[in-house]
Structure 1
Amino acid sequence: MEQKQPIIIRRVKKVAGGHHGGAWKVAYADFVTAMMAFFLVMWLVGIASKEQKAAVSEYFKNPSAVEGSAAIPGSSSLGPGGASDKLIPTANALSMPGGIGPKVGDPGEATRSRIPSEEAARAAAAEDRRQLDELRRDLEAAIEKSLALAPFKDQLLIDLTPEGLRIQIVDRLNRPMFDLGSARMKDYTAEVMHELGALLTDTPHRIALAGHTDETPFQAPRGYGNWELSSDRANAARRALLEGGLDEARIARVVGLASSVPFDRDDPRAPINRRISLVVLNRAADAAPDALASVPPPLPDAAPATVAVAPAFPAPLHAGHD
């Protein structure tokens, strides 16, 4: 009898997965919340005005228990918007009623006490130039009317430069301003300087003076040369202006430039290079110690806004002179 093979039945027991909880839901909710916050911030940045952005920046960068009123972020050693590093209240804060004014180091107060804005600076410079241009017209009119100045109007050159209103008194071939090789003024030169001193008494601007010589070598005992001569002539012009009524406090500086800044570059020995430059300084130039030396002389063929431009005369007939 044939033996039957046993039939083995294997039953697969299915076990249900364990309960994982809702941790993934929390993570997903955090992610969605973060994205909502991100897009909300981006939306607010897109629609906010400049003042509103500044106020938000101030709130986060300079928190305080007292509500502030600054519309733009202040500045400190940490950069714009940083908290103040001042420990002593400002005079304005102490002068407020009750002794309580702006917070110590209030960023708004620091901003308000800054230097004038660029717009204000430009407006001040424009007003400065307007005043000097008006002074130029007044001087031109006065020179035309003055009996003392009219004969010398071809030796008086007036123009506006970046440093202010420049008046140059130049030599002519047969009408020098000073004695030969000397700082002694001719009588008519002194009269011209007296008249200019009287005309410049009403302007509030300070004045810088420079003496110039031509390139002709000049040598006197003890090494006295064109540098010393140009300085002495500039000082002689200063004294003549004071005799004409100009207040000494109005003189900003007096320098001698010898032949380093020629008027006529083509002919360094031309009489027109021997001159006194008087600059009525604007506010910006008054603060710069080298303003006078930095003013380039006008070219003879393109002199700007002058009363009269003296031509470049031939070289002097004498030698060994300034």
Structure 2
Amino acid sequence: MARRKHEEEHESHERWLVSYADFITLLFAFFVVMYAISSVNEGKYRVLSDSLVSAFRNQTPSSVSVIQLPNQVQAGTPQRIAASSAARAPELEAQARKMRGMAGDIRTALGPLIEQGKVRVTHSKRGIAVEISDSVLFDLARAELQPASVAMLTTVAGLVKANDNLIQVEGHTDNQPIRSTQYPSNWELSAARAASVVRLFAENGIAPQRMVAIGYAEFRPVEPNESVDGRARNRRVTLNILADNKDEVAVLPTDAPHPTPAAQ
């Protein structure tokens, strides 16, 4: 009998689909597991953490054993924020009104010097800044207050004494070097000038805990030092009467590009 010719099996070119489908399934399962791991319930985590701490310390857990679902927390958060903002609105308005009134009183008291361009008073969310030219306060290369400036600063102290705002006094110089025995550099001179103002304020009843004296030397200019007028503008003392939101302001700006100043 004639032997039947063996037919070759047809090779399938779509076998890769099986491997591809398995890979997609595994990848999907991997992302599901990763998402499940990353979704931590904050309430459960806090209860577990307090329970472990209390177990080791033999104390009663301080956390309330009420677990709130994440969607419930998210749903209630905007309402709580809105309620908190509404509750603080009268307080913030009162603070802003107080700062505006204080700035107006200072402008009135220092009116003649403001007209002469030797004093500048500005008001912002950070507080009130009173910039005073050094020619009003000190002799050249000295840190002792002139007798005429004592009366002016005493008036300012009387206006801010009744409040509890923090006061930051900054001393600034131009870029002309100073090399005296008492002040080896502008760091010492600027810090000593700021300290003189702080000491006068303390003598006039302002709590020392409210104040800080900072010397910036020539490293915070407001005008170029190439001209005589620019150097005169940079030689100044600035009184920063900070706003009541003390947690939101810092003694030194965090984004300051200048070196850390010498502070007293």
1:136 and 2:103 are equivalent in the alignment: yes
| CA RMSD of superposed structures (Å) | 3.5
Offset of residue 213 of structure 1:
0.5
1:272 and 2:258 are equivalent in the alignment: no
- By percentage of residues, which structure has more helix? 2
Distance in 1 separating the partners of 2:114 and 2:249: 32
- Give ranges in structure 1 of 5+ residues lacking alignment: 1-76, 91-102, 145-149, 297-322
Offset of residue 125 of structure 1:
5.5
Offset of residue 276 of structure 1:
0.7
| 1:242 aligned to which of 202, 212, 217 | 202
1:254 and 2:206 are equivalent in the alignment: no
**Mapping of 1:133-282 within 5 angstroms?**
133-144=100-111, 150=112, 154=116, 155-171=118-134, 175-221=135-181, 224-251=184-211, 253-265=212-224, 267=226, 269-282=230-243
Residue 290 of structure 1: aligned partner:
252
Deviations 1:146-176 (A, max 9, x none): xxxx4565322111234221111113xxx44
Residue 79 of structure 1: aligned partner:
41
Q: Judge conservation of contact 2:172–2:220 (CA < 8 Å) in 1.
A: yes
For the residue of structure 2 that corresponds to 1:210, the secondary structure is strand
Query: What is the number of residues matched between the two proteins?
Result: 194
Q: Judge conservation of contact 1:195–1:244 (CA < 8 Å) in 2.
A: no
Q: Judge conservation of contact 2:224–2:231 (CA < 8 Å) in 1.
A: no
For the residue of structure 2 that corresponds to 1:190, the secondary structure is helix
Q: Judge conservation of contact 1:163–1:292 (CA < 8 Å) in 2.
A: no
Q: Judge conservation of contact 2:122–2:128 (CA < 8 Å) in 1.
A: yes
With the length of structure 1 as denominator, give the TM-score of the two structures: 0.51
**Mapping of 1:25-174 within 5 angstroms?**
78-82=40-44, 84-85=47-48, 86-87=50-51, 88-90=60-62, 104-106=64-66, 117=81, 120=84, 123=89, 128-144=95-111, 150=112, 154=116, 155-171=118-134
Q: Judge conservation of contact 2:114–2:120 (CA < 8 Å) in 1.
A: no
Offset of residue 232 of structure 1:
0.4
Query: In the alignment, residue 161 of structure 1 is paired with which amino acid?
Result: S
Distance in 2 separating the partners of 1:189 and 1:206: 22
Offset of residue 188 of structure 1:
1.1
Q: Judge conservation of contact 2:174–2:225 (CA < 8 Å) in 1.
A: no
Q: Judge conservation of contact 1:197–1:243 (CA < 8 Å) in 2.
A: no
Deviations 1:160-206 (A, max 9, x none): 234221111113xxx44212211111111222111111111122211
Identity of aligned residues (%): 22
For the residue of structure 2 that corresponds to 1:179, the secondary structure is coil
**Mapping of 1:283-322 within 5 angstroms?**
283-284=245-246, 287-291=249-253, 294=256
Distance in 1 separating the partners of 2:95 and 2:257: 18
Offset of residue 221 of structure 1:
3.4
Query: In the alignment, residue 277 of structure 1 is paired with which amino acid?
Result: T
Deviations 1:237-256 (A, max 9, x none): 111122233222221x2110
Offset of residue 82 of structure 1:
2.9
Bigger radius of gyration among the two: 1
Distance in 2 separating the partners of 1:180 and 1:213: 11
Residue 24 of structure 1: aligned partner:
none
For the residue of structure 2 that corresponds to 1:257, the secondary structure is strand
Q: Judge conservation of contact 1:206–1:286 (CA < 8 Å) in 2.
A: no
